[in-house]
Structure 1
Amino acid sequence: MAELTSTGSMHAEKLTGRTQQIFFSAVESDRLASPHAIDVDFDKLVDIDAEGRSAREVNQEIAARMREGYGTITVMNPGAKHSLGVGILNRLRLIFKGSLGYFGCGLSDGPNIQISGRVGWSCAENMMSGTIVIQKNAGSTFGAAIRGGDLVCKGDVGSRTGIDMKGGTIIVGGRTGAFSGFMMQRGRMIVLGDAGPNLGDSMYDGIIYVGGKIAGLGVDAVDAEMTELECNWIKRKLDQYGLEAPNGV
């Protein structure tokens, strides 16, 4: 039974039984990684041929190769299959030589992913950390509900980019479509080209930087001037991915 003790106008309850407190040692050797994280060697390389195989089979082989310690995995002939490279909760260098379909690389936490082609709808949905770089164009709802990391598309993207975005950074090298930043809650979005109508509609928080023309702001979006600190941050971030603002920063 719990014991009640009076402390003036308040009372304190002394609890007994097993504690719910979790103890851990935050030392560097623990790496503060997921308890299920796999040790991989980035210098250990392997290729996977996705031609004629299902997305499930390809994803299972990626996981199997990670368990074998491969830290750099290249997927050849992805063939725009849907849901490739999803659910990777580990450090990994993953390279796709080609294009992906819908929901590529979603639910990721830690990997550094490069895609040489295009991606379909909802690439990197619910991304937690890491980097994803797409060399060509991306479909709608690019980076939906991401929470961290850097998501980069060097081409154009569709509508509703960063919908329900909760953190991280989205960089678009070209144009973005309508309702980008819809219901955005946190994070930063950099668009080097033009932005479609209703930019930032119903956004709660966060910042959207646009280098081109804005077709129109949505409800709750407010125009503002950039500070010198923001300009310097954008320059550093663009340099990191080999991008340059056509109209300057």
Structure 2
Amino acid sequence: MANLKNVTKKTKAQAMGMHSEVLTGRTQQKFFNPDEAENFYYFGTYDVDFNKRTDLDVKNMTAAEANKELDNLMSQGYGTIVIKNPQGKHSLGVGILNKLNLIFEGSLGYFGMGSSDGPIVRINGRVGWSCAENLMAGKVVIEKNAGSCFGAAIRGGDLICKGSVGARTGIDMKGGTIIIGGDAGAFTGFMMQRGRIIILGDVGINLGDSMYDGTIFVGGEIGSYGSDAVDSELTQSDQDWLRRKLRVAEIGENFDVSKMKKIVAGKKLWNYDNLEPAEKKGAI
């Protein structure tokens, strides 16, 4: 019985972490080498040749059929693919986790190029709601206008619209850069957490409402500021970065960035639960 009691006490002590253990002969296990980042690929991606080019007419295809054939062409090594007759279909080009030059000759519907990581895309038309939602990396250029929720929750890459965009552009944005050549709608930058938005034209009401972090640059008039969005000083570093970004985006070549307004988070909402009732009312 004495032996059983000792065993029981030892087990409880171990469960509570009240025992010592000598660590001998253990070393860190190396899972990957960060210097080899260029060799990391998603499972199921393909080694493509950008000089290998083909066309894909999706006029008589559903979006699912078109996306499947797009994947099939990448599996054959095509690195430049031209999509003909997209005709405003929804959810085209979604989930591409591959290096690829992709050109759409026409307009897309809702959710075009969503959840992508890596492709360089040019859309020679308009796009509907939520274009490039959850973009991780790469570059997407829209030659005309875009609908609402443009670049929702993007995490990286460059998203460029040479025309105007709808409401809630950059909503829940977590990284990357959104560049607008024209105007933007209400609640642009709503709840953005990271990243930058550049708007060369005017922007609607409630700009940057409830933004947690990130930066918004506006070249035109601002309808109104949202909760916790405040002006900040436009530094020389900001101006240099804006010029480089616009030059790479091939937009606003002669735009005077020195006159742009810089908007950031006032950070009053960071500790909202700790504010007094009167302070909460002022914050929102």
When normalised by structure 1's length, the TM-score is 0.91
- Corresponding residue of 1:120: 128
What is the aligned counterpart of 2:145 among 134, 137, 143? Answer: 137
| CA offset digits 1:209-244 (Å, max 9, x no partner) | 000000100001011121000101000110112111
Higher mean C-alpha deviation, range 231-240 or range 32-41: 32-41
Higher mean C-alpha deviation, range 191-200 or range 220-229: 220-229
* Structure 2 residue 35 is the aligned partner of structure 1 residue 32: no
By how many angstroms is 1:20 displaced?
A: 11
- Corresponding residue of 1:180: 188
What is the aligned counterpart of 1:170 among 164, 178, 189? Answer: 178
By how many angstroms is 1:37 displaced?
A: 2.7
SS of the residue 2:122 aligns to = strand
- Conserved in 2, the CA contact under 8 Å of 1:192 and 1:245? no
| CA offset digits 1:52-82 (Å, max 9, x no partner) | 2111111001000000000000000000000
- Conserved in 1, the CA contact under 8 Å of 2:247 and 2:253? no
Any gaps of 5 or more consecutive residues in structure 1?
5-9
- Conserved in 1, the CA contact under 8 Å of 2:63 and 2:90? yes
- Corresponding residue of 1:228: 236
User: Could you tell me how far apart the structure 2 residues matched to 1:29 and 1:223 are?
Assistant: 38
Any gaps of 5 or more consecutive residues in structure 2?
1-10, 258-284
- Corresponding residue of 1:199: 207
* 1:102 alignment partner AA: Y
What's the RMSD between the two structures over aligned residues? Answer: 2.3
Q: Measured at CA, do residues 236 and 68 of structure 1 come closer, stay the same or move farther in structure 2, by a change above 3 Å?
A: same
What is the aligned counterpart of 2:66 among 43, 58, 73? Answer: 58
Q: Measured at CA, do residues 211 and 60 of structure 1 come closer, stay the same or move farther in structure 2, by a change above 3 Å?
A: same
- Corresponding residue of 1:7: none
Q: Report percent identity of matched pairs.
A: 61
* 2:194 alignment partner AA: R
* 1:187 alignment partner AA: G
- Conserved in 2, the CA contact under 8 Å of 1:99 and 1:119? yes
By how many angstroms is 1:36 displaced?
A: 3.2
Q: Measured at CA, do residues 200 and 82 of structure 1 come closer, stay the same or move farther in structure 2, by a change above 3 Å?
A: same
| CA offset digits 1:135-184 (Å, max 9, x no partner) | 00000000000000000000000000000000000000000000000000
User: Could you tell me how far apart the structure 1 residues matched to 2:172 and 2:38 are?
Assistant: 33
By how many angstroms is 1:27 displaced?
A: 4.5
| CA offset digits 1:77-97 (Å, max 9, x no partner) | 000000000000010000000
User: Could you tell me how far apart the structure 2 residues matched to 1:30 and 1:131 are?
Assistant: 18
User: Could you tell me how far apart the structure 1 residues matched to 2:203 and 2:253 are?
Assistant: 14
* 2:138 alignment partner AA: G
User: Could you tell me how far apart the structure 2 residues matched to 1:229 and 1:239 are?
Assistant: 15
* Structure 2 residue 69 is the aligned partner of structure 1 residue 67: no
SS of the residue 1:189 aligns to = strand
By how many angstroms is 1:34 displaced?
A: 2.4
Higher helix share: 2
Select the structure of larger CA radius of gyration. 2
What is the aligned counterpart of 1:158 among 145, 160, 166? Answer: 166
- Corresponding residue of 1:45: 53
How many residues align? The count is 241
* 2:108 alignment partner AA: L
